[in-house]
Chain A
Amino acid sequence: MKFRFMDYRNQLFTFSAVLTIISLLLFIGKGFNYGIDFKGGSILHLRFNEPMNEPKIRETFGKMPNLYFKPDQLIIQAVGGDASGREFIVQYPALVREDADSSRIHSEILEQLRKLAPFSEDALSVANVGPTVGGEMKQQGFLAAVISIIGILLYLAWRFEFQSATGAIISLVHDLVVVSGAVCLLGIEFDVTVLAALLTMLGYSVNDSIVVLDRIRENRRLVRTASFAELINDSINQTLGRTINTTITTLFTLVTLLLFGGQSIHNFALTLTIGVAFGTYSSIFIAAPVLLLMTGDKVGKKVTA
């Protein structure tokens, strides 16, 4: 069986372009839902001794004197898997000032909660991130992303000639934009694990493009009969088995992480799952067609980088 991917390249381009534009709009309009890692704030993972619910938790916080935020500002999330309704993740905003007293304020909130609604100390997890640290993390994360992308670009530039590298890069940018858009759309909390997932996705998605481009390059040396579109189409079909299989095995492990890995890596697994899926899509439907677009449909045309 042979799929005629190149015949549909214009539709594919349109589809990808629309996806990219929607993602960009989401990115501008909605933006990332930054977690405390990047904006500062506090997260409490609580397992109450008694069943609780969202209004009850807000009410409990409302009873605390001198609270520096309003109970409506709490972000409350029930942790799945616990049917008893006792396990929650509660987020509250960062304290603006950072001095010797800030740690005492967080301790007091916890101390009062302990009295008002007792919880298991052994199953407690607390994270307080000051606004300064959050801001720096954002900068560092951005820098890490930029360096990863530059590294990948340099590698591609070294390994492939200009047209192929452009194809791979355009598909890379497409993946980054679309997956970021998905992260915005789904409101996935953007924490350091999600950033790690995005960067890993970049590295992985380029793999698939490389395999396809590599095969095209090889076929160009061997086959001189078909048109370039035909040749690209053949190359994609030849590598289709492995493209799909490598994606399937990676998705197997990602989906199990998503289902069984627990709350803390849920966002990570979800982002990477979406990323790997789009990475495969783009290597077939973007990287190769761009190469065709840039080279033109001529047989065995010599290309200098």
Chain B
Amino acid sequence: MRSDHKFKLIVIFVVFLLTLLYTFPSTPWWESSFGLLTRDEQVAVPFAQLVYKDGDDGSSGIIEFAVVHGASIFTKNSSLRPEDVLTSVADTSRRRLMDLGYEAKIVNPDYSKGTLAIRVAKKEQKIGKADLPKIMAQTNLYASLPLGLSYIFPQSKITLGLDLKGGIDLVYQVDLSSVSKDDNPADAVKRSVEIIRNRIDIYGVAEPQIKEQEGHRIRIQLPGVRDIERVKGLIQSTAMLKFHIVLNAGASVAELEPVNPETEMVLISAAQRSAQGELGAAQGLYYKLKREPEVTGRDLKYAQEGFDDMGGPMVHLAFNPEGAIKFSKATGQHLGEKLAIVLDNKVHSAPEIQSKITGGLAQITGRFSLDEAKNLAIVLRAGALPANLNLIESRVVGPTLGAESIRAGWQAGLVGAFLVVVFMITYYKAAGVMADLAVLFNILITFSALVFFGGTLTLPGIAGLVLSVGMAVDANIIIFERIREELRSGKTVRASIESGFDRALTCVIDSNVTTILTVIVLYVFGSGPIRGFATTLGIGLVANIFTAIICVKLAMDLFYGRAKSVEMSI
């Protein structure tokens, strides 16, 4: 073998190996080989220490999980708590068991010992100790291959776009005219982004993307989130909390006249839930308030949802020392009067001040649902937004729809690739086989490059991948047709291959350049899904130059390398 062939072969082999390494973790085979639980979880809560028991009701089985407190991941990362890992393992296991059609309940958690059990049952079927190992094997929770092998693979998996994974994509316009006069509007957008990020973090969403966009806008992408209304409420609530002394209250504004706009203002009460939970059922009440607030949310140290004596949800507040002083001064001076709790310019409640409050603690009660109380606590803790946000674009995709899109794209890809492969073999014989292998290699390269660069796979992205299969063989068709011509003109096989590749090269590059050009424009101007299309098609076309020219040329050189060969299968 010639030395430059050897070199090319090594390069191709290395690239091939890398593509496999980067592709494998994103395939379904990964889970069946290395388990659904993360590597750390499998080390901390080892499979070897699972205990199987019969349930005391005689029809269910119990799986006991135990966390190893001295596991290396805890010594390496001191902020990681064993009970959190245990809960996360139990959650994943339970969900997985339920997906498989079992009833699964977490029982007897003992966090001090680090143990926890899951009771597994199935309707109209007795499950006992003996069935559990088989059920666990079905779940693919733990690695079936030695876990150590997984270390040769990179940790990264393909990132799916919201259109495939399901989730929420929101664009808000920051209303700068609503920034209060004593506040700085210049960094209002940046601060809003920070505050929204805090809120989302406290709420708990995996891989949220919160970005500032041109024109004072904020784009928020939350994969996997389903409860849209709650998230919208969480983001949009400006959470401007103020405490005002109530001067008067009435059923209409007219009753409260005269109002001195310099020192007084009138606000309406927030919509209240009726006893039946219907929003806005109760009649609104108007309050005349002292314009200057006594204390504001800026002096808040802490907010936490809780329950009042009647079991109704409420929010506990704790002020910082400065706030506590203001609060005690206000309550001391206005004993017997009413103090309005104003949230986002609506009076939430206006309890009577019965005594001077010195500890800096307060509560907001009202007819909350538990979710509302939780949301309120989150937004108060994360801080108030400096401006109002107007939702100007929102897209929500349900998880089922995304899964169906992946299936449809996969199906289209398989059928399309199959047709192309068959066509190439029928028309170009052995050379067609080489081109087909090159195309498959091209798909692998595109996919793993997407994983490597952290790109996002969207539905148009899958379309781009499928389309690149059809376009990738174009280069080989151009070359093969040229080789055929050269053969017809009476050249030898080797000479035909050489001049065929040589002469077709500029043409192949030419024909890719204009498409790559438009793909770049689409990448720059497109958002989300379109960018996904531009990415896969773009990578596919560039990789194509490598696979169609270098790889196929090498295959032909090796195949028809001996000077004697006079027949060519093309």
Spot the interface stretch: A11-19, A50-58, A180-188, A242-250.
A242-250
Which of these, A99, A148, A214, A261, contacts B521 with CB under 8 Å?
A148
Residue of A nearest to B472 (CB): A249
Q: Indicate the member of A196, A207, A265 with the most B CB atoms within 10 Å.
A: A196
Q: Which residue of chain B has its CB nearest to the CB of A201?
A: B518
Interface residues as binary, B503-533 with A (CB distance below 8 Å gives 1, 0 otherwise): 1001100111111111101101111011001
Given A262-B405, A264-B459, A265-B459, A249 and B400 contact (CB-CB distance below 8 Å): no
Q: Which residue of A lies closest to B411 (CB)?
A: A260
CB <8 Å contact, A129 and B393: yes
Tell whether A141 is near chain B: CB-to-CB under 8 Å. yes
Interface centre among B171, B419, B462 (most CB of A within 10 A): B419
- 10 A-B pairs whose Cβ atoms sit less than 8 Å apart in the complex: A125-B398, A140-B525, A141-B525, A155-B517, A192-B526, A196-B526, A249-B424, A249-B470, A256-B413, A265-B459
Judge whether B11 is part of the interface by a CB distance below 8 angstroms. no
> A132-B173, A199-B518, A207-B510 are known contacts; what are 17 more A-B pairs with Cβ within 8 Å?
A98-B390, A103-B391, A120-B400, A122-B399, A126-B396, A144-B521, A147-B525, A151-B521, A192-B529, A193-B533, A196-B533, A203-B516, A210-B511, A245-B481, A250-B467, A260-B415, A261-B412
Which one, A130, A193, A207, contacts B460 given CB within 8 A?
A: A193
Q: Which residue of A lies closest to B404 (CB)?
A: A262
Proximity string of chain A (80-111) to chain B, C-beta cutoff 8 Å, 1 when within and 0 when not: 00000000000000000011101100110000
Q: What A residues does B147 contact at CB under 8 A?
A: none
Partner of B514, one of A124, A207, A265: A207
B517 touches A257 (CB 8 A): no
Query: Complex formed: what's the CA distance from A253 to B415 in Å?
Result: 8
Q: How many angstroms from the CA of A298 to the CA of B526 in the assembled complex?
A: 47
Interface: B50 (CB within 8 A): no
In whole angstroms, how far apart are the Cα atoms of A250 and B477 in the complex?
12
Question: Closest residue to A136 on the B side, CB-wise?
Answer: B215
Is A152 interfacial (CB-CB < 8 Å)?
Answer: yes
Question: A268 interface residue, CB < 8 Å from B?
Answer: yes
Q: Give A75 Cβ to nearest chain B Cβ, in Å.
A: 18
A303 within 8 A of B: no
Contact of A192 among B392, B517, B530 (CB under 8 A): B530
Closest Cβ neighbor of B534 among chain A residues: A196
Q: Which of B228, B415, B427, B525 contacts A143 (CB 8 A)?
A: B525
B515 contacts across to A, CB distance below 8 A: 200, 203-204, 207
Q: Which of B404, B416, B484, B521 contacts A257 (CB 8 A)?
A: B416
Give Cα A143–Cα B526 distance, bound, in whole angstroms: 11
Give the residue among B420, B427, B477 with the most A Cβ atoms within 10 A: B477
CA distance A211 to B477 in the complex (A): 12
Tell me the bound Cα distance from A65 to B220 in angstroms.
31
**Chain B proximity mask over A125-153: 1 for CB below 8 Å, otherwise 0:** 11111101100000011011001100110
A44 to chain B, nearest CB (A): 10
Q: Write the A279-296 contact mask toward B (1 if CB under 8 angstroms, else 0).
A: 000000000000000000
Q: How far is the CB of A78 from chain B (nearest CB, A)?
A: 16
Q: Is the CB of B514 within 8 A of A152?
A: yes
B13 within 8 A of A: no
Could you tell me if A211 and B401 are in contact, using CB atoms closer than 8 angstroms? no
Residues of A within 8 A of B522 (CB): 144, 196, 199-200
Whether B485 contacts A256 by the Cβ 8 Å rule is: no
Q: Name the CB-closest residue of A to B409.
A: A261
**Whole-angstrom distance between the Cβ of A145 and the nearest chain B Cβ:** 8
Question: Is A123 positioned at the interface, with any CB of B under 8 Å from its CB?
Answer: yes
* Chain A 201-237 residues near chain B, CB threshold 8 A: 202-204, 206-208, 210-211, 214, 218
Task: Name A211's contact: one of B478, B485, B534 (CB within 8 Å).
Answer: B478
Question: Does B232 interact with chain A (Cβ within 8 Å)?
Answer: yes
Whether the Cβ atoms of A203 and B394 lie closer than 8 Å is no
Contact A241 B481 (CB under 8 A): yes
How distant is B482 from chain A, measured CB to nearest CB, in Å?
8
Q: Which chain B residues lie closer than 8 Å to A256 at the CB level? A: 412-413, 415-416, 419, 466
B420, B510, B527: which contacts A253 (Cβ < 8 A)?
B420
Q: Determine the chain A residues whose CB is within 8 A of the CB of B392 once the complex forms.
A: 98, 102, 129-130, 132-133
Which B residues are in CB contact (< 8 Å) with A159? 510
Closest A-B pairs by Cβ, 8 of them: A253-B470, A203-B518, A262-B408, A103-B391, A207-B511, A253-B416, A256-B416, A203-B515
The reply on B463 being an interface residue by CB < 8 A is: yes
CA–CA, A253 and B423, complex, Å:
12
Q: Tell which of A121, A257, A268 has the most Cβ of chain B within 10 Å.
A: A257
* Closest A residue by C-beta to B517: A151
Flag whether A21 is at the interface (Cβ < 8 A): no
A131 and B396 alpha carbons, distance in the complex (Å): 18
Which chain A residue has the least Cβ–Cβ distance from B169? A127
B518, A193: Cβ atoms under 8 Å?
no
**Interchain CA distance A258-B444 in the complex, whole Å:** 23
Contacts of B473 in A (CB 8 A): 246, 249
Contacts of A98 in B (CB 8 A): 173, 390, 392
Contacts of A265 in B (CB 8 A): 409, 459-460, 463
Which residues does chain B contribute within 8 Å of A202, judged by CB atoms?
A: 514, 518
Known: A152-B518, A252-B416. A262 touches B526 (CB 8 A): no
- B399-434: CB near A (< 8 Å → 1, else 0) gives 111001100110111011101100110010000000
Asked whether A74 is an interface residue with its Cβ less than 8 Å from the other chain, the reply is no
Chain B residues within 8 Å of A241, by CB: 481, 484
| Closest Cβ–Cβ distance, residue B234 to chain A (whole Å) | 13
The verdict on B555 contacting chain A, using a C-beta distance below 8 Å, is no
B119 to chain A, nearest CB (A): 27
B236 at the A interface (CB under 8 A): yes
Those of B194-238 within 8 Å (CB) of chain A: 226, 228-229, 232, 236
Q: How far is the CB of B72 from chain A (nearest CB, A)?
A: 39
Known interface pairs A211-B511, A249-B420, A250-B474; A264-B405 also in contact (CB < 8 Å): yes
B163 on interface, CB distance cutoff 8 Å = yes
Q: Does B389 contact A (CB under 8 A)?
A: yes
Chain A nearest CB from B514 CB (Å) reads 4
B408 x A260 contact (CB < 8 A) = yes
| CB of B36 closer than 8 Å to a CB of A | no
Chain B: minimal CB distance from A55 (Å) = 25
Q: For B542, list chain A residues within 8 Å (CB).
A: none
Q: Is B440 an interface position by the 8 A CB rule?
A: no
Q: Which residues of A contact B226 (CB under 8 A)?
A: 121-122
B420 and A196 contact, CB distance less than 8 A: no
Cβ A257 vs Cβ B478 within 8 A: no
Is A248 within 8 A of B391, CB to CB? no
- Is B398 touching A122 in the complex (CB atoms < 8 A)? yes
Residues from chain A with a CB closer than 8 A to the CB of B408 are: 260-262
Asked if B158 is an interface residue, CB under 8 A from chain A, the answer is: no
A100 touches B388 (CB 8 A): yes
